[in-house]
Structure 1
Amino acid sequence: PSKTEHPSKMNTGLVEYVERTVKLESSRAPDRPVYLVGESIGACIALAGAARNRDTDLVLILVNPGTSFHKSKLQSLSAFLDLIPEPFHLNSPEFLNFLTENFMQMLLTFIGRGTYLEEGGQALSEFLVDVLPRETIVWKLQMLRIASSFVNSRLHAVRAQTLVLASGYDVLLPSREEAQRLQSMLENCRVRHFRDNGHTILLEGGFDIVTTIKGAEYYRRSSQTDFIADYLPPTPSELKKILDSFGILNFANLVMLSTLPDGKIVRGLAGLPEEGPVVLVGYHMLMALELVPLVAGVLSSTGINLRGLGHPFLFNKYSEQLLPESSLFDVCRILGAVPVTTFNFYKLLSEKHFVLLYPGGAREVLHRKGEEYKLFWPEQPEFVRMASRFGAKIIPFGVVGEDDICDVLLDYNDLLKLPFYDIMDKKLNKDSVKLRADCTGEIQNQPIHPMVVLPKVPGRFYFIFGKPIETRGREMELTEKENAQHMYLHVKSEVENCIKYLKEKREEDPYRSILPRLLYQAVHGHNAEIPTFEL
């Protein structure tokens, strides 16, 4: 920085520069949003620009925003830093932590964890005495204080779509608390927490800002979100990270079977069509335990993206605030899930996608004790006529294994008996979309609620995709309600048969238990495909 230029003037100049750049980019592509990514003081600049350009389509990505300066230790440090002679200012614990810990976090990305990190941190801090004199630090702190004060008085004017990324191990700013404050003040704001990352998260290994934007549902190509057109398939690194993060379910060693057009059952996915449109219709396991292994497994094996039709709760920014972790459903969105609507179903089929459909919905995925493998389908043939309109193949499938993974301790009926649970129940379902409003009985009753389960020593997940059911050439026939109902019941019966087949055959699997699988991998290698029952 210039010694003669006041920080406030510098801040104003930065905001004006950002404004000019935003207007230029917006004029080049008026139908597309402009993304502003700002870290610390950069987040203040981004917010200031958004407050002064309310009619511009902006998406703000704020990383550990400096708007919390007035709550940080840096504010009190900045008040007396001028009184401390150089180089003693670097002996302050806060500055040493910031200078060494954050820089060492970056170094670990490249060199890994070693035994000389403390010595390296000390050497690094001594080096920084020369490159960061007191005058520079004082000037930057003044700049941060002015920027924070300026933008905090203008937060009410920010209309832009905003995503706040907060590090849990930020030793410089109280970023986690600040993220919650900004979420309560900004009308269109979501938060993502990264509890193991430091202040310089953008430079740390394992963090991908594009993946975070996609998971938060903030990537769009136009002025409105389009779940089909905006979708970017997972990259190989994203897919690997997802598979690694679900290690327990992968350790269950998936058994995937499919059925060829002639009815022969084979191991693997050779029975799946190579081209869409295709509708895969099946049973939704407890807490959707099968969802990530299914979608990620099919994608990694065949390159086919299964686009799941998901409950609106997965996409509601207000429901995120009721969850223990706001990013709980990000993986589903990265893997291609879209809200279940007639329009989205129509558009996916019209573009020849593979659509993953669970007619049982929330009632099936949050079933009660003793209801495993029971279908809760509505009476009406909701998907048959839509599938036939595009000549889509319908593939019934079954999955078993939830009873080898966990047992239900408290279901919805148990929760309702707990004191004060009704308060949480009202919050969870206050504004929920009633997907089965035209149904009666158990099918209509689809409240969103938590589950209390007891994990078990992991068994195996067994999937089988049934014989494809053709609708091409039957469009006129299936417009009649009776014919559509007949096919609907046929698909349901096939799903039940798939489940029955797997439940019976898994009893013949010598590797259903964990110990035989471990012994097999010890002999044949960790990546060896473990056998199963005879087909």
Structure 2
Amino acid sequence: MQVQHDAKWIGRISSISKQYFQPTFLGAEYIDASIPAMYVGNHTMYGVLDAPMIIDYLYNEHKVAVVSIADHSHFYLPVWREIVKKFGAVDGVQEYVRSVMQQGYSILVFPGGGREVLKRKGEAYQLIWKERYGFLKLAQEFGYDIVPFAALGGDEAYEIGVDASTVVNTKLFQTLLKVPRLAKLLRHGEVIPSLPKSLIPKRLPFYFQFMPRQSLMQIQDVEELKAFREHIQQQIYQGISDLKQYREQQHDLFAH
């Protein structure tokens, strides 16, 4: 499995985002390039605003050549597929992920995947992880620590104009989902995006918080794995809450 990491491309593309969103990164002390880890966090709306800045920060600021595990849909379109690959992303197939971990790459995982980026009204900063545990099993298999992180800003950059739930719940769409092949292709409506009121995102500051590394080596069974996953989720939720407080403090500081 050949990983592409185009440092110049990553820096060039993310520089546009950095100028626009002025990201703040906290918790740099928890990033260690010498020991591969799995970075796990929340994915914000549409997923194209937060990921490039995180990859750029880890790669160009901390020399962590992180491989992002991307949704299968990114690899359906030829041109877009090549862009995604330049950021060091691989298709989220377990064999591919196992291959890059064997090569010693750190991994960037958004367990909510495609569904979490296709936010609907009322889902801002919600983790939609379903029953996914595969990423934790891989981390345990290769002895990778988990580095949780929280991202703030992306779910407020767009205001929803047409809610995906409205489309999915129509009689016509529900009729389409009764066709097995269509239901599978549309993932039972999960791939339907909400449409924003404007294609241009709001210009607001982004914040990222990295948290202490955590080992899975002590986990013995599935129940402990579930408890660990819930613990990671709660840490990310707390991180988002802390970032909101930090943002308010920064706003008050500059307001005076």
Normalized against structure 1, the TM-score is what? 0.42
Change (3 A) 1:381 1:243: closer
Which of 406, 414, 436 is the equivalent residue of 2:166? 414
Structure 2 Cα separation of the partners of residues 302 and 272 of structure 1: 7
Which of 488, 494, 497 is the equivalent residue of 2:229? 488
**What pairs up with 1:109-128 in 2 under 5 angstroms?**
none
Instruction: State the identity %.
Output: 20
Normalized against structure 2, the TM-score is what? 0.84
The alpha carbon displacement at 1:456 in A equals 5.3
Q: Give the aligned partner of residue 243 of structure 1.
A: 14
Structure 2 Cα separation of the partners of residues 233 and 256 of structure 1: 22
Matched positions, count: 250
2:144 equivalent to 1:392? yes
Change (3 A) 1:391 1:309: same
Q: Which amino acid is 2:39 matched to?
A: L
The alpha carbon displacement at 1:484 in A equals 1.7
Q: Which amino acid is 1:498 matched to?
A: G
RMSD: 3.1
Structure 2 Cα separation of the partners of residues 274 and 479 of structure 1: 28
Structure 1 Cα separation of the partners of residues 132 and 85 of structure 2: 28
Q: Give the aligned partner of residue 208 of structure 2.
A: 463
Q: Give the aligned partner of residue 303 of structure 1.
A: 63
Contact 2:71 2:91 (8 Å CA) reproduced? yes
The alpha carbon displacement at 1:421 in A equals 7.4
Change (3 A) 1:462 1:364: same
2:29 equivalent to 1:270? yes
Q: Give the aligned partner of residue 257 of structure 1.
A: 26
3-state SS of 2:147 partner: strand
Change (3 A) 1:386 1:354: same
Q: Which amino acid is 2:249 matched to?
A: E
Contact 2:17 2:53 (8 Å CA) reproduced? no
**What pairs up with 1:95-494 in 2 under 5 angstroms?**
228=1, 230-236=2-8, 238-244=9-15, 247-248=16-17, 250-258=19-27, 269-288=28-47, 289-316=49-76, 320=77, 327-379=79-131, 381-416=133-168, 432=185, 447-453=190-196, 454=198, 455=200, 457-471=202-216, 474=217, 477-494=218-235
Q: Deviations over 1:452-475 (max 9, x none)?
A: 21345411110001111023xx2x
Q: Deviations over 1:267-291 (max 9, x none)?
A: xx23202224311111010100211
The alpha carbon displacement at 1:367 in A equals 1.7
- Bigger Rg, structure 1 or 2: 1
The alpha carbon displacement at 1:333 in A equals 1.4
Change (3 A) 1:278 1:424: farther
Structure 1 Cα separation of the partners of residues 209 and 107 of structure 2: 17
Change (3 A) 1:407 1:467: same
Contact 1:312 1:433 (8 Å CA) reproduced? no
The alpha carbon displacement at 1:395 in A equals 0.7
Q: Which amino acid is 2:36 matched to?
A: P
Q: Deviations over 1:154-202 (max 9, x none)?
A: xxxxxxxxxxxxxxxxxxxxxxxxxxxxxxxxxxxxxxxxxxxxxxxxx
3-state SS of 2:84 partner: helix
The alpha carbon displacement at 1:376 in A equals 1.0
Stretches of structure 1 that go unaligned for 5 or more consecutive residues are 1-227, 259-268, 321-325, 435-444, 517-535
